[in-house]
Amino acid sequence: MSKDLLSHIGMFEQDFDLATIARYTKVLYFFSVLIQYVIFYHVVSFLVDLVGPFFPEATLGVKRAVAAGFWDLCIYILVSSTTHLFISLIALGNFFFFLLFF
């Protein structure tokens, strides 16, 4: 799987043209942003766990909000990178829907 991902972003191409380099740096930038957010989540989670015994509901709310922020960031990256996500044949009862997200 990792080899497929690396070949998709152009790591195994023989000639590195400007488009391949731009795609590669774009992927590295987005991965670094996601990794920084995961580190931010763990720091916030640790700090909130320190006050967790005193404010248990607030602790869970902050953790949920920061986790939801990660998925919002993933959606933003998906939309901003002009990637087309095609989800096919989602079973909902007896119906099948084709969803096309741009």
Q: What is the largest CA-CA distance in the chain?
A: 59
Report the C-alpha gap between 89 and 87 in whole angstroms: 7
* Span 47-80, pLDDT tens digits: 999 999 999 898 999 999 999 988 888 888 877 7
* Span 1-32, pLDDT tens digits: 556 666 666 666 667 777 777 777 887 888 88
Mean pLDDT (whole number) for 73-89: 64
Q: With cut-offs at 50, 70 and 90, classify the pLDDT of residue 94.
A: very low
89-93 CB contacts, 8 Å cutoff, 24+ apart: none
40 pLDDT above the threshold of 70? yes
Task: Give the sign of the dihedral formed by CA 48, CA 49, CA 52, CA 57.
Answer: positive
Q: Is 25 helix (H, G, I), strand (E, B) or coil?
A: helix
Of the two residues 37 and 93, the one the predictor is more confident about is 37
Q: Cβ–Cβ contacts within 10 Å for residue 78, how many? A: 15
Q: What pTM, to 2 d.p., does this model score? A: 0.64
Report the C-alpha gap between 33 and 53 in whole angstroms: 31
DSSP state of 74: H
